[in-house]
Amino acid sequence: MRKTILIPGGAGYVGSHTAYLLAKKGHAVIIVDKRIHNQKFSPSWATIIQEDFSNKTILDQIFTTHKIDAVMHFAAFIEVGESVKHPKRFYHNNVVKTLTLLDRMLAHDVKNFIFSSSCAVYGEPVTVPMDESNPFRPLSPYGKNKLIVEFALQDYATAYNLDSVSLRYFNAAGALPEAGLGEQHDPETHIIPLMIRAIKNQTPFKIFGTDYDTPDGSCIRDYIHVLDIAQAHVLALEHLDHKHSESSKASAFNLGSGNGFSVKEMIGAMEKICDKKMVIKHENRRPGDPAILLANPAKASSVLGWKPTHSDLETILRSALTFAETFSPDPVYSYSTSSADRAHR
C-alpha cells in the first residue's frame, strides 16, 4: 500500500538513500531538511521542505495537510568529537528537537516512528559480535543523545501508544552513484571517503592506532552498505504495520553485516581495487575508538527479515569510488550532509 512518509534529515547520507528506496517502492516522500551545508539535493522523487525539523508551525502544517503514515527521523549532529566539545548543541539538536518532533506527531495522532540510532549507544562491547543485549555504556554525548531518545520512545510506547523501531547502525558505507547518492561530509572524518581522497591525491592516509588488541593492531569495524540500511527501514515500516505485541512497541535492532575488517584490511582492499598504493601515516589512537565493533544482526534477520545483500567489501568500496569519481572530481567536496548516518562512539 502506498504510504506517505515524513523524513526529517532526508537530504543526508542514510536519509537520502532511504528516501530514494521508499520513492522507488511507490511511497510518497516528504523531506524536511535545512540543508545546513547547502547540499544541492532536490530530487524529482521527493517533496523537499527546507526547514528545521523541529519547526512547530511547519510540522503542524505538514501533519494537517498530509496524512502522514510514518516518520523516519535521520536529522542529527553526528560528529562525536564535536559532541564532547559542545554537548549543549548536541543535546539541543539531537534530543530536545527530537522530542518536539514527537510532540507534534502525537498532537496529530501520527504514531509510527523509525529512528536512526547507532551502536554508539553501547560504547565498548561486552560480547563480540554484539547483539542487542550488550549493556548501554555510551562513551560520548552523541551516543547518550541516541540512547535518551530510545528511552523516551519506550516510555512513549507505554504511555501514548507510539510505535517505534530504532535502528542501531554500525558503519554505514558505500553509495548509490546511479542515483547520484553517496557519502560526503564536511569536514570528512570517515575512513572510506578519506581513503579515496588519499589514494587519488597521493596524500597521506592516517591510520589511527596500530597497537590495538586485534590481529594486525588496527581497529576492526563492521561496514554495512547504506542501501542495506535503507532496506532495513523499508522492512521496519512493514513491521510497524503489523500491530505487534506490547513488548515490541518500541523495538531496536542492530544493523551490521556481521563481518569485520581492520583499517589495514580496508587499505589493502582499496589499494587492490585502485591498483595503486596509498601513502600511509601512523597516528595515535583516536580518543573513544573501541578496538572492535562488530554486529550480530540475528534479531534484524529473524524479526524484520533483513538480509544485507550489498555489503560485501568490494561492492561497498567500488560504489563509494564510483560516486566520488563521478560527483566529486574536486578533492574538496561540495556536497555534505546534516544528517545522522553512521555509528559514532
**Can you give the binding site for ligand UDP, defined by CB under 6 A?**
171, 189-191, 194, 206-208, 219, 221, 263, 286, 289, 342-344
- Residue 253 DSSP symbol: E
Catalytic residue among 13, 122, 142, 335: 142
DSSP 29-85: EEEE---TT------TTSEEE-S-TT-HHHHHHHHHHS---EEEE-B----HHHHHH
Supply the minimum distance, in Å, between the C-beta of residue 41 and ligand UDP.
Answer: 22
Supply the minimum distance, in Å, between the C-beta of residue 286 and ligand UDP.
Answer: 5
Which of these, 182, 174, 173, 171, lies nearest to 41 by C-alpha position? 182
In angstroms, the CA 202 to CA 283 distance is 17
CB 234 within 8 A of CB 7: no
In angstroms, the CA 99 to CA 95 distance is 6
Q: What are the distances in angstroms from CA 156 to CA 2, 196, 250, 258, 275? A: 26, 43, 9, 31, 52
* Identity of the residue, 43 or 125, whose beta carbon is nearer to ligand UDP in the bound complex: 125
142 is catalytic: yes
* Identity of the residue, 92 or 285, whose beta carbon is nearer to ligand UDP in the bound complex: 285
Please state the separation of Cα 329 from the chain's center in Å. Answer: 25
Supply the minimum distance, in Å, between the C-beta of residue 266 and ligand UDP.
Answer: 7
Supply the minimum distance, in Å, between the C-beta of residue 287 and ligand UDP.
Answer: 10
In angstroms, the CA 251 to CA 271 distance is 40
* Identity of the residue, 55 or 339, whose beta carbon is nearer to ligand UDP in the bound complex: 339
Which residues, at least 6 apart from 246, have a Cβ–Cβ distance to it below 8 Å?
157
* Identity of the residue, 22 or 219, whose beta carbon is nearer to ligand UDP in the bound complex: 219
Supply the minimum distance, in Å, between the C-beta of residue 283 and ligand UDP.
Answer: 7
The residue assigned the cell 540500511 is 229
Environment class of 82 (CB within 10 Å of its CB; exposed 0-12, middle 13-18, buried 19+): middle
Q: Nearest residue by C-beta to ligand UDP?
A: 219
* Identity of the residue, 51 or 82, whose beta carbon is nearer to ligand UDP in the bound complex: 82
Residues identified as active-site: 142
